[in-house]
Copies of this chain bind each other. A is one copy, B any other.
């Protein structure tokens, strides 16, 4: 891990991380040793990306503490903490989960950043290509990720490209990113500068880069909004290139708030929502009736979804 990681970090970033990990303080805030052990250290994602936790606030007991203020002394000590957290998750009492906060530093391809930013309830500071020059780093899929368009799902992947076609695709991705970056550098005329040219403004030159160029940002959100993000992005329907970030973050959440994370897996990630129609069909089935799409009252598409999520 260390080697891969060092490759993804600028030299000054690596030094900053070592310094941050060495700086120990005393605090009377809630502290989670399992997450402290991970703090600052980048977890590699994709070929040049990473995600790392920079800071956090709260723990499982901060969720419980907030819920107990809501419920007042009446419920104090009535339920043990894990049971209360599971109850809150099951009944979508979401505000106590907002009492925990986490901040990540993420390095990711721009086309992934464009999906990610659609989650509006977070704070973001992104590297600015108006001010600074982006590094020469692009995402090139590993051969086993070079998937064909799905023939059944308009936004999904089918089988993996093979042989010549795969080679051709990889060659194009590499050559185009390389050439665009080289021309970006030429237009900027900064390193080294040719004194006979002025150099194009950074805010303009960046438009020549391809969407697989890496960017980076600080991304801070609360646990409720993070769970919403993970429910969409750690899901099988999410694009692989964002799902691997979500998976890495989910492992950090497991370390941080183990009770809430398990409740999230049971009641959200692994849960299924049944429509009024599905519920009616299910009750007929439990009563012994044989129900098929024809006599279900559901559309073909809905029946397929029902069969896949419940009956399989």
Contact = CB atoms under 8 A, between A and B. Distances in A.
Interface string A118-159: 101101111110111100000101000111111000111111
A149 B201 contact: yes
B27 A197 contact: no
A47 to B, nearest CB: 12
Q: Which of A36, A56, A210, A270 has the most chain B CB atoms closer than 10 A to its own CB?
A: A210
A295 interface: no
A70 B132 CA distance: 9
Interface in A216-253: 216-218, 220, 222, 239
A186 B30 CA distance: 41
B28 A154 contact: no
Contacts of A74: 131-133, 154
B127 A70 contact: yes
A79 B211 CA distance: 31
Contacts of A28: 20-25, 36, 39-40
A14 interface: no
A203 interface: yes
Interface string A199-212: 11111101111111
A3 interface: no
A173 interface: yes
Contacts of A275: 90, 266-267, 270-271
Interface residues of A, number: 135
A273 B70 CA distance: 24
A75 interface: yes
Contacts of A150: 201
A292 interface: no
Q: Which of A23, A55, A150 has the most chain B CB atoms closer than 10 A to its own CB?
A: A55
Contacts of A154: 71, 74-75, 131
A110 interface: yes
Contacts of A187: 169, 172
B271 A70 contact: no
B125 A66 contact: yes
A70 B110 contact: no
Contacts of A72: 127-128, 131-133
13 contacts: A25-B31, A27-B29, A29-B39, A70-B128, A90-B275, A90-B302, A111-B206, A128-B155, A155-B203, A157-B204, A203-B239, A274-B274, A279-B310
